[in-house]
Amino acid sequence: MYRSLVLGICLFLLQSVNSQEVIANGTKSWNITTLDRLHLQLFINYDKNAHPTYHGIPTNITLGMSVNYIDIDEINGKMILHSWLRIKWMDENRSWNLGDYDNITQIHLKPKEVWKPDITLFNSAGDKSDYLGDTQILLADDGSFLWVPPAVYTAYCSLNFRNWPYDTQVCKVKVGSLALTYIDARYLELKESLDYNELVQSTEWEIVDADTAYRKQDYYNYIEFTFNLKRRSSMYTAVIFTPATCIILLALSSFWLPPQMGEKILLNGVVIVLISAFLMYFAQLLPILADNTPLVVLFYSCSLLLLSISTIIAVCVLYLSTAKHKRHLPAFIKNILNGPLSKVLLLENFTLEAEPHVTMNNGTKELVEHQYENPDSVSDGAAMHASTSAASNRFIQFEWILLATAVDRIAFLCYSLTFIILSILYAV
């Protein structure tokens, strides 16, 4: 009992001494005690859960955003936004007279000490990575609050991959409050509502335009930040479009190989494997269930179909040129090959290496059968008949090789025109 009485007296004396030091000589000093006194005056009987009002007028909120970094998750159709929010509101009940508190113009408060607007991302993708930091709140002498928390938002974004990788995406971030507060639409007229002073450039996306709009619903209102994002496509040009050019050249070059060469099929097979690898790469890079199939993917798909048909043509050409034929070409086919088509298909200079006796007649090649009169070279009639029969077979074979070559040249012209059309349609 005696010890408790002594302790109480000591605490009373210590408090009296501190109070005298604070107001010594009738002057006040700008120290922590003044801030404590101001804080006590401002927040006595203050309920941080109660919505601040002044004469029944709802609280106005001014909302701005400073963009730090922006990226797009293409597989899941989301936009990831790193930013600083600038949230301002007024509570006249939290103002003070500067002269009464050593001209203190502002104080810093912890977020848990005061009421804050419940800023909500209305088009949130529901990602756990959404984050709103708890930075300190600045309170000015006129009762205005300023809160600048860092924010990481993940919002749904309707992506259009039609022109990928030269695409431009439009994504929106809808930020507002569901409480009985009103966002000040007048603030949207200021350029400060959205700035990029702290922007870190993305390696893939560039902000080409942005807009801010005020939206009002029956039970809430919000600010809609719209971003126009353009993809940086320099890397894709080297990775995707350069191989596309090589695929076109390889596909067309197979038609200029000699018709008897089986390497035509091998070359087409290599190109088919290359196209299939690119299609698998696109499947990993882009969403499978996208509403719009990229034009470049359609180009590779059409190229795969064309190369498959080209392989069938190569098999037919190889058969025409290597099979042992016993009949001459039909007369109407000979007439076509002997006509102006031979000049278009560049068949005028076509020769058969195995038969040196070839002459020109009306732009086509005809085998000339020579009769050898030298008795030293032809021993009897049977040998001459065998030689004539072999020459005739070689001439028949040459006709079919000429037809196979014509098929290759026609296919080359058709494929060249087709690839030109595909390149224009799909912007390759």
Report pLDDT digits (tens) over 392-422: 667 677 778 888 888 899 999 999 999 999 9
242, 228: one domain: no
Provide the pLDDT for residue 190.
Answer: 41
Beta bridge partners of 225: 173, 212
395, 292: one domain: yes
Q: Is residue 227 part of a domain?
A: yes
pLDDT class of 286 with cuts at 50, 70, 90 = confident
312, 340: one domain: yes
Give 274-280 contacts, CB < 8 A, sequence gap 24+. Answer: 274/243, 274/247, 275/247, 275/300, 275/303, 275/304, 275/307, 276/304, 278/240, 278/243, 279/304
The amino acid that residue 373 corresponds to is E
Provide the pLDDT for residue 14.
Answer: 40
List pLDDT tens digits, range 261-273.
Answer: 889 999 999 999 9
Q: What is the pLDDT averaged over residues 276-303?
A: 89
- Taking the C-alpha atoms of 386, 392, 396 and 401 in order, what is their torsion angle to the nearest 10 degrees? 90
Of residues 384 and 245, the one with the higher pLDDT is 245
Provide the pLDDT for residue 391.
Answer: 63
Q: Which of 59-68, 158-167, 281-290 has the highest mean pLDDT?
A: 158-167
355, 403: one domain: yes
Q: Is residue 32 part of a domain?
A: no
Provide the pLDDT for residue 186.
Answer: 52
Provide the pLDDT for residue 387.
Answer: 56
Mark which of 232, 257, 284 sits at the end of a domain. 232
Q: Which of 229, 224, 287, 284 is nearest to 80 (CA)?
A: 229
Mark which of 198, 214, 232 sits at the end of a domain. 232
Res 390 pLDDT > 80: no
Q: Is residue 321 part of a domain?
A: yes
Res 12 pLDDT > 80: no
CA separation for the pair 330, 392 (Å, rounded): 16
315, 174: one domain: no
Provide the pLDDT for residue 185.
Answer: 55
Q: Is residue 21 part of a domain?
A: no
At which residue do the structure tokens 């018709």 appear?
A: 259
Lowest mean pLDDT among 16-25, 85-94, 387-396: 16-25
List pLDDT tens digits, range 22-40.
Answer: 444 444 444 466 888 888 8
Domain range enclosing 289: 237-425
Provide the pLDDT for residue 201.
Answer: 87
Of residues 348 and 264, the one with the higher pLDDT is 264
120, 244: one domain: no
- Give the number of other CB atoms < 10 A from CB of residue 198: 12
Mark which of 189, 217, 232 sits at the end of a domain. 232
Provide the pLDDT for residue 215.
Answer: 83
Q: What is the pLDDT averaged over residues 153-181?
A: 86
Res 388 pLDDT > 70: no
CA separation for the pair 108, 111 (Å, rounded): 9
Provide the pLDDT for residue 402.
Answer: 83
Provide the pLDDT for residue 298.
Answer: 92
Provide the pLDDT for residue 133.
Answer: 84
List pLDDT tens digits, range 181-191.
Answer: 566 555 444 44
Q: What is the pLDDT averaged over residues 311-325?
A: 88
Q: Is residue 313 part of a domain?
A: yes
Provide the pLDDT for residue 169.
Answer: 93
**Stated pTM of the model:** 0.69
* Average pLDDT, rounded, for the chain: 78
227, 243: one domain: no
Provide the pLDDT for residue 400.
Answer: 82
244, 227: one domain: no
204, 279: one domain: no
List pLDDT tens digits, range 188-205.
Answer: 444 457 788 888 888 889
Of all residues in the chain, what percent carry a pLDDT higher than 90?
30
391, 272: one domain: yes
Contact 34, 104 (CB under 8 A): yes
CA separation for the pair 299, 315 (Å, rounded): 24
Res 180 pLDDT > 70: no
410, 375: one domain: yes
Domain of residue 167, CATH code? 2.70.170.10
167, 252: one domain: no
Q: Is residue 145 part of a domain?
A: yes
CA separation for the pair 391, 412 (Å, rounded): 31
What's the total number of domains in the chain?
A: 2
Res 251 pLDDT > 90: yes
